[in-house]
């Protein structure tokens, strides 16, 4: 496969401070590459050098074996498009006008847009789901919409290479996936070479064919995600301990942070029972299991999100039929799991007549001398649909010594301190 972008012994400095130091590598045509590394490692500086924003102090960037900085800017813009980290536009151009600006490299000095240019812009707007925004001022749309517009402008250049600097850093998860799915589609269907600076290691792992991990202006390792994203590499470069597991759907590496002090619980087989349901405990169940705890859960209704998560993790659960109230049978199963646990956690779940027995079960855990942690993401008053009975039982738990935490991070920090 031909190579169309090469970096040879690249160096760059800001004044006397050297930021990039002797980088040599190549991007294969049609590849999807992520550039990752901690703050200050040189990720954005590398992208600025590749995109002609910042001239290197040494080495060269070759585009189709020609020095990038000796090429005409218009010629470069016909082959390479850049989506910067900051996409703010201070003038009230319409969305369609902004996207049409991407056609500038293909137009003569006094040439106006042709039917072909308008057709291409319409196609790009359809591709990026921005058609309905065409007549709106760029200053009057949301951040996620503006990000799609800037990507659309880049696509209107018909580039062979697209460079993006953390394009999802300020977007919610829906818009993150939307942008990255679009880039992957362009990469696969249009054979575009995509290079993205990522802050989120998990997004990088799921979308990229290869990753370039940087450390202090140098390449620490370059390769496939499973080769780059190892616990040892991340510990060395980021200075933090993580767990690496295969994503249950894609099979790609998934990075999970470990809270301070949490390593002491790894592989010790401490047993933790989680009272949850309806999706309130799904993430916690996965984190606890991946960190070495023997996790059980209940009472869960078959088919709900927490039950599905527990099932995928092969956890032992006390379960009840879909949309059914807790019966004496499932309640007793739940109590047996609590008796066998070293600690009990209750997720921030709502309570009604159908699951009030879960509160009673946690109360018994305290009676049996089990440490109890309450994850209070919402006040109990906002989750009580029992006419006050749940509030009463919950406050009794707190008065008897249950530990109140705000979120999963606090749970993971506190739990090792409570289990002997």
Structural domain 3-235, CATH architecture:
3-Layer(aba) Sandwich (3.40)
pLDDT digits (tens, 9 = 90+) for 186-215: 899 888 899 999 989 999 999 999 999 999
pLDDT surpassing 60 at residue 2: no
Delimiting residues of CATH 3.40.50.450 domain(s) in the chain = 262-418
Question: Is 346 a residue whose pLDDT tops 90?
Answer: yes
pLDDT by residue (tens digit) across 41-71? 889 889 989 998 888 999 999 998 899 999 9
Q: How many CA atoms lie within 13 A of 262 on its CB side?
A: 24
Mean pLDDT across the chain: 87
Q: Which pTM was predicted? A: 0.62
Among candidate residues 411, 342, 420, 337, the one with its CA nearest the CA of residue 374: 411
Separation CA 75–CA 82 (nearest Å): 14
Q: What is the pLDDT of residues 95-110, one digit of tens each?
A: 999 999 999 888 877 7
Q: List the one residue out of 419, 417, 411 whose CA is nearest residue 280.
A: 411
CATH topology of domain 262-418: Rossmann fold (3.40.50)
Strands of 302-342 (E only): list them.
316-320
Q: Which residues pair with 254 in a beta bridge?
A: 245
Q: Which residue has the tokens 């780059």?
A: 228
**Which pLDDT band holds residue 114 (cuts at 50, 70, 90)?**
confident
Which residue in the block uniquely carries the two structure tokens 């980021």?
238
For CATH 3.40.50.300, the residue range(s) in the chain are: 3-235
SS3 assignment, position 399: helix
pLDDT for 1: 41
Amino acid 405: pLDDT: 83
Task: Flag whether pLDDT at 87 surpasses 90.
Answer: no
As a whole number, mean pLDDT of residues 223-236 equals: 92
């Amino acid at each position: 496969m031909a190579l169309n972008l090469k970096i040879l012994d690249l160096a760059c400095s800001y004044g006397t401070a050297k930021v990039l130091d002797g980088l040599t590598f190549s991007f294969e045509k049609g590849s999807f590459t992520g550039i990752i590394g901690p703050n200050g490692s040189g990720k954005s500086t590398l992208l600025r050098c590749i995109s002609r924003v910042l001239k290197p102090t040494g080495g060269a960037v070759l585009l189709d074996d020609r020095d990038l900085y000796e090429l005409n800017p218009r010629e470069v813009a016909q082959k390479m498009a850049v989506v910067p980290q900051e996409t703010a536009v201070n003038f009230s151009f319409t969305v369609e006008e902004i996207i049409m600006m991407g056609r500038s490299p293909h137009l003569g000095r006094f040439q106006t847009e042709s039917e072909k240019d308008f057709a291409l812009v319409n196609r790009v707007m359809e591709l990026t789901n921005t058609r309905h925004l065409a007549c709106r001022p760029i200053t009057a749309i949301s951040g996620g919409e503006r990000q799609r517009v800037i990507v659309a402008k880049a696509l209107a250049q018909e580039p062979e290479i697209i460079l993006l600097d953390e394009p999802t850093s300020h977007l919610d998860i829906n818009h993150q996936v939307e942008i990255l799915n679009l880039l992957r589609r362009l990469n696969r269907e249009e054979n575009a070479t995509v290079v993205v600076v990522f802050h989120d290691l998990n997004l990088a792992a799921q979308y990229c064919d290869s990753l370039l991990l940087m450390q202090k202006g140098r390449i620490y390792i370059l390769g496939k995600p499973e080769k780059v994203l190892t616990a040892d590499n991340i510990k060395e470069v980021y200075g933090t301990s993580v767990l690496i597991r295969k994503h249950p759907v894609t099979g790609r590496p998934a990075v999970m942070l470990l809270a301070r002090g949490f390593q002491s619980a790894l592989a010790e087989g401490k047993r933790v029972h989680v009272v949850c349901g309806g999706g309130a405990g799904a993430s916690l169940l996965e984190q606890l299991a991946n960190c070495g705890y023997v996790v059980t859960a209940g009472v869960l209704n078959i088919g709900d999100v927490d039950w599905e998560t527990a099932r995928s993790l092969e956890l032992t659960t006390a379960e009840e039929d879909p949309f059914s109230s807790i019966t004496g049978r499932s309640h007793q199963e739940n109590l047996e799991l609590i008796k066998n646990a070293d600690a009990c956690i209750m997720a921030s779940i709502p309570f009604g007549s159908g699951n009030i027995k879960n509160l009673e079960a946690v109360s018994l855990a305290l009676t049996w001398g089990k440490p109890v942690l309450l994850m209070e993401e919402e006040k109990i008053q906002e989750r009580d649909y029992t006419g006050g009975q749940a509030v009463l039982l919950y406050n009794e738990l707190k008065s008897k010594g249950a530990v109140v935490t705000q979120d999963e991070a606090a749970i993971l920090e506190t739990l090792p301190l409570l289990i002997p």
